[in-house]
Structure 1
């Protein structure tokens, strides 16, 4: 327990733990939007926020929710994952109740969670592993998580092919200029979609200098980079393989995606992790919010925007047309 508590519940039991809990619940909200935008949109519309039901889940690592024989099974898997794995368990529970949640309003949802229906724990474990394997490491970054361990004190997980990509906790990785930056809680709460780090983008896109891609045997989420800057800015340098969808022309007045070849490409790659890239984080966050509103799953933004990528030498400039 002395290892378990700091890993999963670091500073949860301080006298004033509100900032720790609020950050945790905000990241959880972003994970719901990332994995199930339709459900996220509905729960937000009716005001059924995680503060109303998920605090006992995470404070007790689900022992408040499940009987002991189910906790044994759940924790067997939880202990193989890193500190972000509980988010995936929470989303998996919601997805088992998805149809009932979507069909009901605020009062019915409160009643549903006051006496939680039977949860198939085997399905919960299976689906939480799948959710975990689709979540970029840096998407669940928390400023108030456990500080990095000493060098050499690393652990691996037991999730098969995903073990290479997820062999360490993002919180434990040494911080670089390409890492995620801490965000004020108010700024974190203002963003529907999670951010990912530049180093994660480079790893997931398997980029290397010269615009070539590195091939890795690791099983990683499939990714699509969407550059929302102007065509002119895109032509001056962009991430290899990214598509250009300028924000200024992407959405109709009613919030729907405007049909064009680029948005057609985006739709054809629906289901991949989408990374929205811009100059300014505010416009990237707004674009991501629009995508979530039209039920695009797995939407993220690049922390720090294109400026984080400029010093890497990994931006591609198209050859001039002859």
Structure 2
């Protein structure tokens, strides 16, 4: 018989069992990291209006979320502190009783070694001007003065028990100074997950609400230009790996899937990607309007990030995705 196809790829799509057998990309709970916001002095969780379903936690509800993350088999939690007071140099980031360091201790106490407790290593939540570093007399971010604080911050977080620290401020040399400080303080096993490729993105908007950001202006002088591709990105990851990064991250994820792939193909360390607040908010808003199937959109989003090459995904859907995965096994 002529005129019919000799090859029929549709055979491998004909049933759920066949599709499952030949699926090229998988997601497991261990590959997901849950970002969490812990607010100083909060008596009850505070809803983040631009991120439905996400809250600024109290210390107690944060502990419960950590316990749930352990039960779900997540890879880790990434902690952000929301302090009640800020200053020009972000001194709350170094205070052993500051909210982030306290939240780290709480999480480690709850999870032990059953879950990686990760901490954001940046000053933006703690500075009155909202920048990721201290400012010079002209109001510009002072890279090298900021590095000195990052080194102390890394030791403070490791002393609180953090298994992984995440330098995220995009200061030149940040990984090297943190690694040196950790090693000198005896924290040889503390892992550094470097925010190596971080763009000055419009999709960070809801995060500013989540951490009560004081930022005026933008961060274009230190975060990367969205118009730049692999050349800029690979230069950054090469520098961070040379300085001692154990993992590297691309942030945001969805608008930069091409960058995730280029980084994955270029390096021999694990690659993380951050499915950020604006990406979360877009799906939630479209689903709330009935325009998309929410659960399918969540899983398709996370699958796309894995397919691009991310070994690990930071996502506000981590706990829910783990539950969805368990239901579909």
Q: TM-score, normalised by structure 2?
A: 0.31
TM-score, structure 1 length as denominator? 0.32
Normalized per residue, the structure richer in strand is: 2
